A and B are shown apart, each in its own frame.
Chain A
Amino acid sequence: MNRIKNYEISVLLFFLTQSQFFIYGLNSFTKESGRATIIAMILGSIIGFFLLKLTLSKKYFTLKKKSLFLLIPFLVLHLSYILNQTIHFITYNVVSTISYYLLAAAFLLLVVFCVKRGLKTITRSAFIYLITSIFLFCITFLLLFPKMDFSNVLPLMDSSTFEIGKSLFIYLLISISPYFYLSIFERKLDKEGEKRIVRGYILTHIFLIFNTLIIFSILGLELINLYPYPEISIFKKVSFLNVIDRMETIFSLTYFLALFLQFAIGFYTLHFLMRRILPIKKEEVSLLLLATILFFFSASFSLSRNIWLVTLGVHLLFYLFTSKSVIH
Chain B
Amino acid sequence: MNKKLRLIFLLCLLFLPTGCLHYVELGELEVVENISIDYQEDTFQIIATLIEKKEEDLTRKIIKGKGSSIEEAMEKIKTKENKKLYIAHLNLLILTPNAVEQQLESILYYFLENSESRNDFSVALAEDITMMENAENTIDLSKKIQIVEEDLGTSKTCYFEDLLKDLLEKKRSYLPFLTKQEEQITVEGIYLLEKEKLIEHLTGEDVILFNFLHNNIHTTSWKGNKVLSNTTTIRYQNQKIKIAIESILTEEKKNYADELKKAIEEMFSTYQAKNIDIFDFAHAIKIGDYAYFKDHQDTYLQEITLQIEINTAANNQGERGIDFHE
Interface check A110, CB cutoff 8 A: yes
Residues of A within 8 A of B290 (CB): 155, 157-158
Among B13, B118, B165, B287, contact of A154 (Cβ-Cβ < 8 Å):
B287
Known: A106-B13, A154-B287. A236 touches B120 (CB 8 A): yes
Interface check A290, CB cutoff 8 A: no
Question: Which of the candidate stretches A89-97, A172-180, A315-323 sits at the interface with the other chain?
Answer: A89-97
Known: A155-B287, A237-B120. A222 touches B169 (CB 8 A): yes
| Residues of A139-180 whose CB lies within 8 A of B | 151, 154-155, 157-158
User: What is the CA–CA distance of A110 and B118 in the complex, to the nearest angstrom?
Assistant: 31
Residues of B within 8 A of A109 (CB): 9, 13
In the complex, the answer to whether A223 meets B164 with C-beta atoms within 8 Å is: yes
Interface check B248, CB cutoff 8 A: no
Residues of B within 8 A of A154 (CB): 286-287
Interface check B185, CB cutoff 8 A: no
Interface check B181, CB cutoff 8 A: no
Least distance between A227 CB and chain B CB atoms (Å): 8
Chain A: interface secondary structure? Answer: helix
User: What is the CA–CA distance of A95 and B112 in the complex, to the nearest angstrom?
Assistant: 18
Among B18, B112, B119, contact of A236 (Cβ-Cβ < 8 Å):
B119
Residues of A within 8 A of B1 (CB): none
Interface residues of B (CB under 8 A from A): 9, 13, 16-19, 21-22, 88, 112, 115, 118-120, 161, 164-165, 168-169, 283, 286-287, 290
Is the interface on chain A under 10, 10 to 19, 20 to 34, or 35 or more residues?
20 to 34
Among A92, A103, A225, A226, contact of B17 (Cβ-Cβ < 8 Å):
A103
Residue of B nearest to A158 (CB): B290
User: What is the CA–CA distance of A97 and B169 in the complex, to the nearest angstrom?
Assistant: 34
Interface residues of A (CB under 8 A from B): 92, 94-98, 102-103, 106, 109-110, 151, 154-155, 157-158, 219-223, 225-226, 236-237, 246
Residue of A nearest to B118 (CB): A236
User: What is the CA–CA distance of A97 and B161 in the complex, to the nearest angstrom?
Assistant: 26
Among B17, B120, B165, B286, contact of A98 (Cβ-Cβ < 8 Å):
B17
Least distance between A223 CB and chain B CB atoms (Å): 6
Residues of B within 8 A of A94 (CB): 19
Residues of A within 8 A of B112 (CB): 226
Residues of A within 8 A of B22 (CB): 97-98
Least distance between A242 CB and chain B CB atoms (Å): 12
User: What is the CA–CA distance of A106 and B15 in the complex, to the nearest angstrom?
Assistant: 11
Residues of B within 8 A of A237 (CB): 120
Least distance between B109 CB and chain A CB atoms (Å): 10
Least distance between A136 CB and chain B CB atoms (Å): 19
Residue of B nearest to A97 (CB): B22
Least distance between B5 CB and chain A CB atoms (Å): 12
Residue of B nearest to A155 (CB): B290
Known: A220-B165, A222-B164, A226-B112. A95 touches B17 (CB 8 A): yes
Residues of B within 8 A of A102 (CB): 16-17
List 10 additional contacts besides A223-B164, A226-B112; criterion CB under 8 Å.
A94-B19, A95-B19, A97-B19, A98-B16, A102-B17, A106-B13, A157-B290, A222-B169, A236-B119, A236-B120
In the complex, the answer to whether A151 meets B287 with C-beta atoms within 8 Å is: yes
Least distance between A79 CB and chain B CB atoms (Å): 19
Residues of A within 8 A of B169 (CB): 220-222
Residue of B nearest to A153 (CB): B287
In the complex, the answer to whether A97 meets B21 with C-beta atoms within 8 Å is: yes
Among A106, A155, A236, contact of B286 (Cβ-Cβ < 8 Å):
A155
Least distance between B291 CB and chain A CB atoms (Å): 9
